[in-house]
Structure 1
Amino acid sequence: MTTLATHLARLDTHLARFRDSGILNLIDGQDVAAANWFETRSPVDDSLIAKVALGDAATIDAAAKAAKAAFPAWAAMPGDQRKAILHRIADLIEARAEEIALCECWDTGQAWRFMSKAALRGAENFRFFADLAPGARDGQSLPTPTHWNVTSRHPIGPVGVITPWNTPFMLSTWKIAPALAAGCTVVHKPAEFSPLSARLLAEICHEAGLPPGVLNLVNGMGEGAGRALTEHPDIKAIAFVGETKTGSMIMRQGSETLKRVHFELGGKNPVIVFEDADLERALDAVIFMIYSLNGERCTSSSRLLVQESVADRFHDMLVKRVNNIKVGHPLDPATEVGPLIHKTHFDKVMGYVAIGHEDGAALAAGGSRVGDQGWFVRPTLFTGATPAMRIAQEEVFGPFLTTLTFADEEEALRIANGVAYGLTGYVWTNDLTRALRVSDRLEAGMIWVNSENVRHLPTPFGGVKASGIGRDGGDWSFEFYMETKNTAFALGHHKIQRLGA
């Protein structure tokens, strides 16, 4: 069995090459250093992982020009050839899955038990979109009595991809794979808190034979590299995963060049447990969907709504389980919750513990730091909340659950929909007609009934309200990365109005 000591030894081997050279940008197939650097540190103990080349407006300009120059040839490449390259990328991701997972754990604080699978999911993303590449441009035949309308799709051009620090490798593949399959070229700016696995992905893509300039990597800060990317005239679209506030900034910055945007933003997602639900299964799902991945996930079920008749029983079971969650080193296979990404985020989450007390909710579990090194927070549970409380309205993005109770279906829907967000909803009931009614009226882009979040790649992924714009997944991804063209062929000599005859 692999142990913490084994993982640490292997990690040290993988990180050795970055200690001297740092994490470089990659533009037009070439490593690019920088005049200035920033640091990435492990949330486990705040130790230095590596220095990172700080990209700026000039770096972004070089990357955008490389993407623009590479676009015509990549877009013209037959789909089956793009498919073969993307499958080679997936093969190499699988071959380096342990390296990716170890680096991701150390850079983000996410537990090994989840990151070991996230790397493989990245390979699955590439394989899925690789197989769609040959038919990505296929259109429709839409005949009328006078015309034969034929639609086709064409890659939009160079695109910017801005990814977050929670499960960054998997989410990067989720955006980059369909862009490449569609025939777009990419400038990728990862979050400054988690640059390590983005570098690994860029290396893998070019080792697999991706032509220079098709995928360019620029590290940097939001106000520097990020803003330059969203404002650059050669970048035709921005795909972004992150905070709602940042999404609004990106939309403003890209408005001058009329950029298309796709946003996967925040959530304050309800999980509604009715009295007739299978409470044991619902409990497992509730705990998994808020405390796995350190609670740092946009689809987490951060608000628990329990029907009053079963609330006391459910809360008793919940408190016992939350207090039993294992917090520890992310490379320990037994760990269930690791450290939060950074001190900045640690302070934010701990600030919401104070807000919960001020709101008047009851702290039923957690709410404290674990140890005196690193950014570990004990899984936190507040009960007795009311809908207007800040801990019931605002996204905490950590291992932090707020519970509320409801009397009936109408009250449950009123509470569930009474926030700014609308990404996901989870409904637990054995009444089929209730499940249909509630899921139809929930204001969310994705709803799971009697299930945790289980993603099927062909299905649409995205939110409503302040949770996002657009959909990922299957053909929905191509709708973003491609333009649709209609060509109408006249069928015979239909009558045309004559002017000035």
Structure 2
Amino acid sequence: MIPPKGNPNPEIKYTKIFIDNEFVDAESGKTFATVNPRTEKPIAQIAEGDKADIDKAVASAKKAFARGSAWRSLDASARAALINKLADLFEENVNELASLESLDNGMPFLMAYGITIKAAQNLRYYAGWADKIQGSTIPADGNSFALTRKEPVGVVALVTPWNVPIAMYGFKLGPALATGCTVVIKPAELTPLSALFMASLIKAAGFPPGVVNVVPGYGAAAGGALSLHPDVAKISFTGSSLVGHTILKAAGESNLKRVTLELGGKSPFVVFDDADIDAAVQEAAVIFSHGGQMCTSPSRVFVQAGIYDKFVKKAVAVASQMKVGDAFTPGCWQAPQIELRAVEKIIGLIESGKKEGAKLQLGGKRRKTNGYFIEPTVFSDVTDDMRIAKEEIFGPVQSILKFETFEEVVRRSNDTEYGLSAGVFTKNIETALEYAKAVEAGSVWVNQYNAMSAQTPFGGFKQSGIGRELGKEGLDAYLETKTISIKLPTNH
């Protein structure tokens, strides 16, 4: 394993669109700036893709998917070897990939390093599936022999978020390639650098031209063109619920393309009276990690009345020790928000919490320094009707609510339009299992939080999304099932 070594000034080698294994300018010649949230200054000018570039990328992917192409002619085990080679390159270039990620979105470097290693592991997991995807034989009625084949859906669009781009290559690119699909990636306009560097690794790994294409650009132009493109068979999107609705509508209006959506969350984190309170406080503090810019952030902390005051006191003590600063500062846990618009939204919600009667225990302001920094913020005495308890903040704001009974906390946990994840802390396994059964969430973590792995499916209920990523289920949306029935001779 290469030891972590962050570089706050990595060389920006790739700024152009990647199509057919080559880096090219946008058809329009336009560029846009990607900005360092720590300094508020531009890092580089990136080629701005739009519909014309998306059309070229999809055409390249369609050609690479055609019957008889180099990609379609590969044995499944050869596909696996290419994906494993890509995982090798992730690990060999981990410091450069993680440094680019930290520079571009402010993520603490050690977190970016760990996510890059995890992405490589996820790629290896799906490489292992490449030659194990199989159909079945079926005892069909009548004089027929029936069987099924699992086949790739075709050209897929992967629209990645700005908060954890590298993680999404394992989530999305792994199963897409393992099943034999070809890919067009539209990275978030706020964080294109790691996607473009990753594109160079695609070529270095030996993937045939057109198998993976990367088109940076704005959501309305590049993302919209992908959503509406008739030659795109499936789109996988991670991001806001608002954009998810737009993509779902576009997919229906174009060609009924398959859609996988991983959207917002307002995750409950429930702490019962018998819990290990110190462990629960530490795990709840993940809300401050990466500035709270994680869809699974435990943004509603429900604490049972018997330990409520003690929990609040300990939570404030932990938050007050949170190291906030530059992504490359040793020990940094909370880095900046992604952009000024996010800061303004978060501060607005903090102000609403104060006006609606929540007790501000800590923080609540933007830090007076360069960069989009907000103080670690803790509210107690939060009630369900407050905006900070209902809306996804996507910031370093911990809201602590009090509950009395099991049935009450189940009802209140589920009283949200979201259903991505949940956590429960208790020493009573029956309580934990009953809560896990009752809560409406795609992932439930018991006495831990954010415990995701390549083998465990991830996705949401309700407005938090459609479909699953990771695990065997992560393959399903990239596969079609074909039934073949063969007439047999009549028995005499």
Q: TM-score, normalised by structure 1?
A: 0.94
CA contact (8 A) 2:300 2:389 kept: yes
Distance 2:80 2:30 in 1: 38
1:107-186 pair list within 5 angstroms = 107-136=104-133, 138-144=134-140, 146=142, 147-186=144-183
SS at match of 1:76: coil
Q: Which amino acid aligns with 1:259?
A: K
Q: Distance in 2 between matches of 1:128 and 1:66?
A: 27
Q: SS state of the match for residue 270, structure 2?
A: strand
Q: How far did 1:145 drift?
A: 6.1
Alpha-carbon offset, residue 293 of structure 1: 2.3
Aligned-partner Cα distance in 2 for 1:263–1:13: 32
Q: How far 1:334 sits from its partner (Å)?
A: 1.5
- State whether structure 2 residue 62 is matched by structure 1 residue 65: no
Change (3 A) 1:407 1:491: farther
Q: Please state how far the C-alpha of 1:379 moved relative to its aligned partner.
A: 1.0
Equivalent in the alignment of 1:498: none
Structure 2 Cα separation of the partners of residues 270 and 296 of structure 1: 16
Q: Alignment partner of 1:68: what SS?
A: helix
Matching of residue 28 in structure 1 with residue 20 in structure 2:
yes
SS of 1:452's equivalent in the other structure is coil
**Conservation of the 8 A alpha-carbon contact between 2:290 and 2:336:** no
Give the Cα–Cα distance (whole angstroms) in 2 for the partners of residues 143 and 463 of structure 1: 35
| Residue 148 to residue 474, structure 1, CA distance change in 2 (3 Å) | farther
- Does the 8 Å contact 1:41/1:107 carry over to 2? yes
Aligned mate of 1:275, from 262, 273, 276 = 273
Mapped to 2, the partners of 1:207 and 1:42 lie a distance apart of 28
* More off after superposition, 265-274 vs 428-437: 428-437
d(CA) in 1 for partners of 2:3, 2:454: 32
Q: CA deviation at 1:161?
A: 0.4
Structure 1 27/318 Cα, relative in aligned 2: closer, same or farther at 3 Å? same
In structure 1, which of residues 280, 295, 299 is the aligned counterpart of residue 296 of structure 2? 299
Q: 2:199 aligns with which of 186, 198, 202?
A: 202
Q: Determine if the alignment matches structure 1 residue 336 to structure 2 residue 328.
A: no
Contact 1:11 1:99 (8 Å CA) reproduced: no
- Pairing of 1:349-364 with structure 2 (within 5 A): 349-364=346-361
Identity of aligned residues (%): 38
- Change over 3 Å in CA distance of 1:392–1:494 after alignment to 2: farther
> How far apart, in 2, do the equivalents of 1:331 and 1:280 lie?
28
The alpha carbon displacement at 1:13 in A equals 4.5
Counterpart CA distance in 2 for 1:141 and 1:459 is 27
Query: Residues of 2 paired with 1:309 and 1:281: CA distance?
Result: 17
Q: Secondary structure at the match of 1:14?
A: coil
The answer to whether the 8 A contact 1:166-1:296 is kept is: yes
Distance 2:311 2:489 in 1: 71
Relative to its length, the structure with more helix (as a share) is: 1
Aligned counterpart for 1:50 among listed residues 44, 52, 65: 44
- Work out the CA distance in 2 between the residues paired with 1:346 and 1:340: 7
Tell me the alpha carbon deviations over residues 374-403 of structure 1, each in whole angstroms, 9 at most, x when there is no partner.
001111111111111111011011111111
Cα pair 2:260 2:467 within 8 Å, conserved = yes
Q: Are 1:95 and 2:89 an aligned pair?
A: no
Alignment of structure 1 residues 304-343 onto 2, 5 Å: 304-343=301-340
Runs of 5+ unmatched residues, structure 2 = none
Deviation at 1:285, TM superposition (A): 1.1
Residue identity in the other structure for 1:267:
G
Partner AA of 1:142 in structure 2? I
Shift of 1:323: 0.8
Corresponding residue of 2:260:
262
- Count of paired positions: 484
Q: What value does the CA root-mean-square deviation take over the aligned residues?
A: 1.8
Distance 2:363 2:10 in 1: 36
3-state SS of paired residue (1:40):
strand
CA distance in 2, matches of 1:245, 1:90: 33
